[in-house]
Structure 1
Amino acid sequence: MADDDDKPKKHTLDSLFMVYCNYKANPTELENEQFDCILLSQIDAWLEQAKLMPNPIARTQTGLLYMRYKKWRLGYEDFLELITQLVVDNNLILDEFKQIMIEAGPPSGATDIVIVK
């Protein structure tokens, strides 16, 4: 009987969220700092990776939605609200949208290794 540890781990939306939160993050004075909130540029990079941008979703659309939060970075719950609004505004199906984002995988060129639980 094979151990579960031997099976390849699959990403989930929340595990990929953590990967993108730290993708192209500016280095700070704190070594090994991990971010748990996402920037607009990181959301756009994820949507581009998923081939959801520039069509059906435009950069201006994500920017306008993002600015409603009046925060520098969005937490996971705010991120879920943002993508839900994108889905509604573009007449898409939420579960399919999330699946496309999951299938996009980690950012191209990212070297970070993330443990998926």
Structure 2
Amino acid sequence: MADDEDKPKKHTLDTLFQVYCNYKLAAAELETEEFHSILLSQLDSWLTQARLMPAPITRIQTGLIYMRYKKWRLEYEDFLEVLQILCSESDLNYDQLKETLIAAGPPLGATEVVVVK
């Protein structure tokens, strides 16, 4: 029987969240710092890769929702709330939205190797 460690691991919503939190960082940010919260641009990149943007979700819509939090970066719990708001405003199913984001996978063009634990 093969060890579980030999099997390829699949991403979950929270592991992909961590990947996107550290994707396309500004040059001014430290390369060695790891972020655990997501920027609006990173969220929009993820939604675009999942083919949810520009329809049924728009950048204006995510921007207006994001501004409600009055934070530069959103923690995972805030991110889940944003997804719920997007679902209610866009008539989407919450569980299907999460599955679509998971299916989109890590960012295309990301240069770092992603390790899923």
Q: TM-score range by the shorter chain?
A: over 0.9
Count of residue correspondences: 117
CA 1:48–1:31: 2 relative to 1, 3 Å: closer
Q: 2:13 aligned with 1:18, yes or no?
A: no
Post-superposition CA distance 1:44-69 (Å, at most 9, x none): 00000000000000000000000000
Using the size of structure 1 for normalisation, the TM-score is 0.95
Structure 1 residue aligned with 2:82: 82
- For 1:35, the equivalent position in structure 2 comes to 35
In 1, Cα distance between the equivalents of 2:58 and 2:71?
20
Cα separation, 2, equivalents of 1:17 and 1:29 = 18
Which residue of the partner structure matches residue 68 of structure 1?
A: 68
- Tell me the residue number matched to 2:3: 3
TM-score (ref. length: structure 2): 0.95
Counterpart residue number, 2:116 = 116
Structure 2 residues not aligned, in runs of 5+: none
Alignment correspondent of 1:45: 45
SS at match of 1:103: helix
Of 29-38 and 53-62, the range deviating more from structure 2: 29-38
Q: What is the CA distance between 1:28 and its match in structure 2?
A: 4.4
Whichever residue aligns with residue 42 of structure 1, its letter is Q
User: Percent identity between the aligned chains?
Assistant: 65
Quickly say closer, same or farther: Cα 1:4–1:33, change in 2 above 3 A.
same
Q: 1:52 and 1:30 mapped to 2: Cα distance?
A: 30
What CA distance in whole angstroms lies between the structure 2 residues aligned with 1:29 and 1:56?
32
CA RMSD of aligned residues (A): 1.1
